[in-house]
Amino acid sequence: MRTTGYVWHERYSWHDTGTFAGIIAPGSTVQPFHNFESADSKSRFNSLVEVSSLIDHLVKVPARIATDEDILRIHTPRHLDFIKNQSELVVGDAGDGWSPFGHKGIEIARLAAGGTIAAVDAVLRGDVTNAYALVRPPGHHAERDMGMGYCIFANIPIAIEWARANHGIERIAVVDFDIHHGNGTQSIFADDPNVLTISLHQDRLFPQDSGYVTETGGSGAEGSALNVPLPAGTGNGAYAAAFERLVLPALRNFKPEAIFVASGFDASAVDPLGCMTLTATAYRQMTASLVTVADELCDGRLIMSHEGGYSPVYVPYCGLAVLEELCGFETGIPDPFEFSFGNSPAHALTQAQDDVLNVAENIARQMQLIVG
Ligand SMILES: [Zn+2]
For ligand 1, the distance from its centroid to the CA atom of residue 205, given in whole angstroms, is: 9
For the stretch 241-291, pLDDT in tens is: 999 999 999 999 999 999 999 999 999 999 999 999 999 999 999 999 999
The architecture (CATH level 2) of 4-15+35-366 comes to 3-Layer(aba) Sandwich (3.40)
Whole-number Å distance between alpha carbons of 363 and 48: 41
Q: Which of 141, 180, 181, 347 is catalytic?
A: 141
Instruction: Extract the residue ranges of the chain whose pLDDT is less than 70.
Output: none
SS3 325: helix
113: nearest Cα among 188, 201, 31: 188
Based on the residue annotation, tell me whether 141 is a catalytic residue of this protein: yes
201: nearest Cα among 287, 307, 99, 316: 307
For ligand 1, the distance from its centroid to the CA atom of residue 246, given in whole angstroms, is: 21
Instruction: Give the per-residue pLDDT at 155.
Output: 99
Whole-number Å distance between alpha carbons of 202 and 338: 22
Q: What Å distances lie between residue 225 and 134, 260, 371, CA to CA?
A: 25, 14, 15
Whole-number Å distance between alpha carbons of 251 and 173: 7
For ligand 1, the distance from its centroid to the CA atom of residue 332, given in whole angstroms, is: 28
196 membership: H or E segment, kind and range: strand 195-202
Instruction: Give the per-residue pLDDT at 117.
Output: 99
Instruction: Give the per-residue pLDDT at 270.
Output: 95
Whole-number Å distance between alpha carbons of 157 and 117: 10
Q: What Å distances lie between residue 219 and 60, 187, 207, 216, CA to CA?
A: 40, 12, 22, 10
For ligand 1, the distance from its centroid to the CA atom of residue 126, given in whole angstroms, is: 30
Instruction: Give the per-residue pLDDT at 1.
Output: 85
Whole-number Å distance between alpha carbons of 156 and 146: 15
For ligand 1, the distance from its centroid to the CA atom of residue 1, given in whole angstroms, is: 32
* Ramachandran category for residue 345: left, alpha or beta (phi over 0 → left; psi -120 to 50 → alpha): alpha
Q: In degrees rounded to 5, what are phi and psi of residue 47?
A: -60, -40
Instruction: Give the per-residue pLDDT at 274.
Output: 97
Q: What Å distances lie between residue 34 and 23, 25, 40, 264, 325, CA to CA?
A: 9, 10, 11, 20, 33
For ligand 1, the distance from its centroid to the CA atom of residue 133, given in whole angstroms, is: 16
For the stretch 190-241, pLDDT in tens is: 999 999 999 999 999 999 999 999 999 999 999 999 999 999 999 999 999 9
The DSSP 8-state label assigned to residue 27 in this structure reads B
Whole-number Å distance between alpha carbons of 62 and 135: 12
